[in-house]
Amino acid sequence: MRENNFVFKKLEPTDNVDSFHCSDEDLNDFLLTEAKDYQRELLAVTYLLLDPGTNAIVAYYSLLCDHVQFDKDSKKARNYINRRVLFSKQRNHYPAMKLGRLAVDVHYAHQGIGMLIMEAIKTALTSNPRFGCKILTVDAYAAALGFYESCGFRYFTETDEGDETRLMFYDLKNFLG
C-alpha cells in the first residue's frame, strides 16, 4: 500500500472504532474504551489512519505532552542529548512529546504502516512547530523494541532491561538532519 492512499484524522466522539483489531488486547481496549475519555479530559489526543477506499481504521496513535528529566541512571542518555545542544549550559530536563499508543490493525500489519506513522509524527513535530519539543518518548512494549530501534529510538537506561516496557527516546534534531 502506498503512503498517499491513507488519511490521518483526529478521533472524534462520534467515530465508530469497533471494527479495529490489532494483535494486542491492551491496545485494542484503549481505542475501544479509553481513547475518547482521554481526549475529553485533555490527557491525550488520538489520531486514526483510515483507508479511504473502505473507510477502515488501518491504525491509530495517541500523543500526549511529556518532559524528560534525567537522573543518575540515565547519564548515558543525558550525555547523548546534551552533546547535541548548542547552548553551553547543560540541562537536566527537556520538553518532549510522548507516543502513548501506536497500533496497526491485523489486516494491515507488516506493510510499513508503523514506519509511515512514525515519519508523520516526526514531520508534524518538526516541520512547523507550535511549541518547543526536543524529544519524542515512548514506553515501548518488549515485543515492539526492535520496531522502535529501527525508527532510531534509543534507551534511556539499562535498568529497565527485561521489563514489560522500556522507556525509549528519539532526539527530533536527528530527523532534521
Enumerate the domain spans of the chain.
3-176
* pTM reported for the whole predicted model: 0.87
Each residue's pLDDT tens digit, 87-128: 556 666 778 999 999 999 999 999 999 999 999 999 999 998
pLDDT at 77 over 60: yes
Which superfamily does 3-176 belong to? Gcn5-related N-acetyltransferase (GNAT) (3.40.630.30)
**Choice among 1-10, 22-31, 140-149 with the minimum mean pLDDT:** 1-10
Looking at residue 111, its pLDDT comes to 94
pLDDT at 73 over 80: no
Lowest mean pLDDT among 1-15, 28-42, 86-100, 126-140: 86-100
The residue type at 24 = D
Give the span between the Cα atoms of 44 and 65, in whole angstroms.
Answer: 8
DSSP string, 136-156: EEEEEEGGGHHHHHHTT-EES
Element (H, E) at 162: none
Mean pLDDT of the chain: 89
User: Cβ distance 60 to 103 under 8 Å?
Assistant: yes
